Structure 1
Amino acid sequence: MSTSICSRALRRSTLSARSFKLSARAFSQSVSRDASWGFIGLGAMGYPMAKNLAAKIPEGDTLTVFDVNTASTEKLQSESSSQNVRIAKGPKEVAQNSDNIISALPEPQHVKSVFNEILSESLPKPPSESSRIFIDCSTIDPITSREVAKLVKEKGDADFVDAPMSGGVVGAAAGTLTFMVGADKSLISRVEPILMLMGKKVWHMGPQGTGLSGKLANNYALAINNIAAAEAFNLGIRWGIQPKALADLLNSATGKSWPSEVNPPVPGVKEGSPSSKDYTGGFGVSLMRKDLRLAMTAAHEAGAKLVLADVARTVYEETEKEHKGKDFSVVYRWLGGKE
């Protein structure tokens, strides 16, 4: 799924005709002209997402932002060449002044807290659109997301969709994220072009909550594959195989996986990978532990058996204790892999 973003000079004259080419289907979509935008949560992922949004929304539109870290909001405002970024005093102010509100928050409790504050009293009518929509890109559990969606519908008279993303900090900065959306089908024509300003793929997984279910299923597989890749490299290298030779074998045979090919756990196998930079950057081990925990919670709710989950949880808990702040591929170092 890809989109061609017009230059700022032409954006206002060509916006209504912008066509978004979609994998598996194609139809013309556009973001609303003269809309008001909001973004809550300028963390490692949220900041580059908001920066892309500020750069790509139609000329003349405004983006109202909030984060508890005021340095992040001030930095975003100073880096916005179009001067269209405004800083809010809190989440409620963002919602009050926006038609389309994106949030990217760390944990379920943060999402609950933000939306409880936003909905502590009735919201005014949207500034420009006929209705207000909240797009939550946080990776949380589906139960919490459905609770918040219900609250938004009942107290905010607005729509709420879950749209967790994949692609990491690098993808967020490059605007190449993949979003997994849980929403009523009727909302996709509005949600998709918004997300395409920050990414390159949007997958509609089903009703509200299923975007998170898809994300957690994917990250559960990633958690297991990462451990398997680290163990396989450790095993082969201890047998005397050169790391790059083993990587070539795995990635051309049935052992191939994202952790073996894109994010190999052995330093020097792939230039620029976190493992080749002392396991810095990338997807933090604490985030993987969090997502694994959320996947296990969701699996319990669904009655799905996860036979490897407990072992994987122990691996990531122990790895985090020894290598906090490192990329999750540091599991290889925790195993005692040769570097």
Structure 2
Amino acid sequence: MRVHSVTRSLYRAQRRAFSATPRRLENYGFIGLGQMGYPMAKNLQSKLSPSDSIKLFDINTDAAKRLVREIEIAQVGGATVEQAHDAHDAVREADIVITVLPKPSHVKGVFRQILSSDLPRKDRLYIDCSTIDPSSSREVARWVVEGNQGQFVDAPMSGGVVGATAGTLTFMLGSPDSLVPKLEPPLLRMGKRVLHCGAQGNGLSAKLANNYLLAINNIATAEAMNLGIRWGLDPKTLANVINVSTGKCWPSEINNPVKGVVEGAPASRDYSGGFGISLMKKDLELAIVAANDADAKLELGDRAKEVYEKAVQTSTCKGRDFSVIYRFLGGKE
């Protein structure tokens, strides 16, 4: 895995900016304006040149219309912006296309629509920031190449809605080495770090492996905290012991599931905000699918999936941060 730092990337950008050769103008297409895509598109637009253009599309036409209006009212500069009629319209003139969609079926549906239309042949660069399974991503990449429409890479991200809004996302990139210099600038307009994980599909593999571990650690942390508290330990004392010992992990140290242990954690505000439990369930399911495709044995995956499935259906847990698993397990609050 290669880490491409912001400093190094900004240096290259500045060096290009002062080059005697004028920068080629770029047209962007952006598809998917949900909780993540909306602020990502907004950051991208604001950091592009006024000579560039960006066409926005979402099946929820009100979202695209609202973003265009918001940009026009703010008058912050950046690329010219326009609402596309459909996915084909967003892509037709684009040099770079960015997609941020919920599920594999949505990604496949959008690309079927794009590639089955009378799309002019062009060496486009498709950057899919959706979190889907690597097999589906590689299938779509094959469609793009077979249609002579350019190249497709995967760039799922970490950082959540807060990171998308602040422009501090980390992207896990699956791409040929030769494309990395071209991919860094648009990604760093929406985030602060690009981790090149290898060939196409590897960005998704890295993210799903990480989130599989996170899903398991979250359950284990909730169980350990509940166990210690029921034995009579003070929650903060127990967390301090864990976090200087071998049980330390992100759910114990940063996103502790017990109210009052970590100031500002979702547990301290009735598990609101944070990384939704339904999203963790989805990522865990995708990781299990990918593991089966790779013939990788998972002893804990199916059991963890059952826990998240039941928690998502519980009224006191539904719609909350995934650390609410502590509540689902009957932890004292």
User: What is the TM-score normalised by the length of structure 1?
Assistant: 0.88
* Offset of residue 282 of structure 1: 1.4
* Offset of residue 272 of structure 1: 2.3
Which one-letter code corresponds to 1:328 in the other structure? F
Q: Equivalences for 1:1-339 in 2 at 5 Å?
A: 1-3=5-7, 16-17=16-17, 33-80=24-71, 81-82=76-77, 84-124=80-120, 131-322=123-314, 323-339=317-333
Which one-letter code corresponds to 2:51 in the other structure? G
Q: How many Å separate the matches in 2 of 1:183 and 1:122?
A: 27
SS at match of 2:116: coil
Identity of aligned residues (%): 57
* Offset of residue 125 of structure 1: 5.4
Residue segments in structure 1 that go unaligned for 5+ positions in a row: 7-12, 19-27
Which one-letter code corresponds to 1:97 in the other structure? E
Which one-letter code corresponds to 1:151 in the other structure? W
Deviates more, 1:314-323 or 1:240-249: 240-249
Q: Deviations over 1:74-125 (max 9, x none)?
A: 2221222337221111111111131111101000000000001111134225
SS at match of 1:119: helix
Q: How many Å separate the matches in 1 of 2:143 and 2:23?
A: 26
Q: How many Å separate the matches in 2 of 1:60 and 1:268?
A: 50
Which one-letter code corresponds to 2:322 in the other structure? F
Which one-letter code corresponds to 2:6 in the other structure? S
Distance 1:301 1:327, change over 3 A: same
RMSD: 2.1
Which one-letter code corresponds to 1:112 in the other structure? K
SS at match of 1:188: helix
Q: How many Å separate the matches in 2 of 1:242 and 1:288?
A: 28
Deviates more, 1:62-71 or 1:327-336: 62-71
- Corresponding residue pairs, total: 318
* Offset of residue 326 of structure 1: 1.1
Q: How many Å separate the matches in 2 of 1:162 and 1:300?
A: 20
Which one-letter code corresponds to 1:85 in the other structure? V
* Offset of residue 70 of structure 1: 2.1
Q: Deviations over 1:118-143 (max 9, x none)?
A: 111342255xxxx3100001111111
- Contact in 1 for aligned 2:225/2:238 (Cα 8 Å): yes
- Contact in 1 for aligned 2:17/2:23 (Cα 8 Å): no
Which one-letter code corresponds to 2:53 in the other structure? T
User: What is the TM-score normalised by the length of structure 2?
Assistant: 0.90
- Contact in 2 for aligned 1:119/1:156 (Cα 8 Å): no
Deviates more, 1:301-310 or 1:63-72: 63-72
SS at match of 1:303: coil
SS at match of 1:109: helix
Q: How many Å separate the matches in 1 of 2:212 and 2:270?
A: 24
Which one-letter code corresponds to 2:327 in the other structure? R
Distance 1:4 1:73, change over 3 A: farther
SS at match of 1:270: coil
* Offset of residue 306 of structure 1: 0.6
Q: How many Å separate the matches in 2 of 1:159 and 1:122?
A: 18
- Contact in 1 for aligned 2:9/2:184 (Cα 8 Å): no
Which one-letter code corresponds to 1:2 in the other structure? V
Which one-letter code corresponds to 2:246 in the other structure? T
* Offset of residue 241 of structure 1: 2.1
Q: Deviations over 1:169-193 (max 9, x none)?
A: 1111111111111111111111112
* Offset of residue 32 of structure 1: 5.6
Which one-letter code corresponds to 1:289 in the other structure? K
Distance 1:4 1:185, change over 3 A: closer
Deviates more, 1:33-42 or 1:210-219: 33-42
Residue segments in structure 2 that go unaligned for 5+ positions in a row: none
Which one-letter code corresponds to 1:103 in the other structure? T
- Contact in 2 for aligned 1:180/1:203 (Cα 8 Å): yes
Deviates more, 1:67-76 or 1:327-336: 67-76
Q: Deviations over 1:6-39 (max 9, x none)?
A: 8xxxxxx957248xxxxxxxxx9xx965211121
Distance 1:306 1:112, change over 3 A: same
Q: How many Å separate the matches in 2 of 1:271 and 1:85?
A: 40
